[in-house]
Amino acid sequence: MRLVAANDNPAGQGSREVPLATALKMFASHGLSAAAQAGQSARDAARMGDEAGFHHWLAVCRSLDRRLAIEIEKRRARGRL
C-alpha cells in the first residue's frame, strides 16, 4: 500500500497551478486591476474563437475575482461578450 500525504493533490490537478501562477504575476504587475485585465483577456480570446485561451484566462480571472468570472460566463452564455 502506498502512503501519501493528506495534502497530496490527485493526478491531473497540476493544471490548477498554471492559472494561479499567472494570476499572481498579473497581480504583481497590475495590482487591483489584475482581475479586470484577466477578464478582458478572456473576453478577447472568446471573441477570437480561442476556446483554450478563454478557459485559461477565465481560470486566472476566477483566481482573482470569482464574481467577475461568473459574470463573464453568464454573459458568454447569453451571447453578450
Residue 53 belongs to what domain range? 16-77
pLDDT given at position 81: 79
pLDDT of 13 over the 50 cut: no
Does the residue 4 lie in any domain? no
pLDDT tens digits, residue range 42-77?
A: 999 999 999 999 999 999 999 999 999 999 999 999
- In this model, does residue 15 exceed pLDDT 60? no
Contact 81, 43 (CB under 8 A): yes
Residue 9 lies in a domain: no
What's the domain count of the chain? 1
Residue 50 lies inside a defined structural domain of this protein: yes
| pTM over the 0.75 mark | yes
**In whole angstroms, what is the distance from residue 25 CA to residue 52 CA?**
20
On whether residue 68 sits in a domain, the answer given is yes
* Residue 28 within a domain: yes
| Distance (Å, whole) CA 7 – CA 37 | 32
CA gap 70, 3 in Å, rounded: 38
**46 found inside a domain:** yes
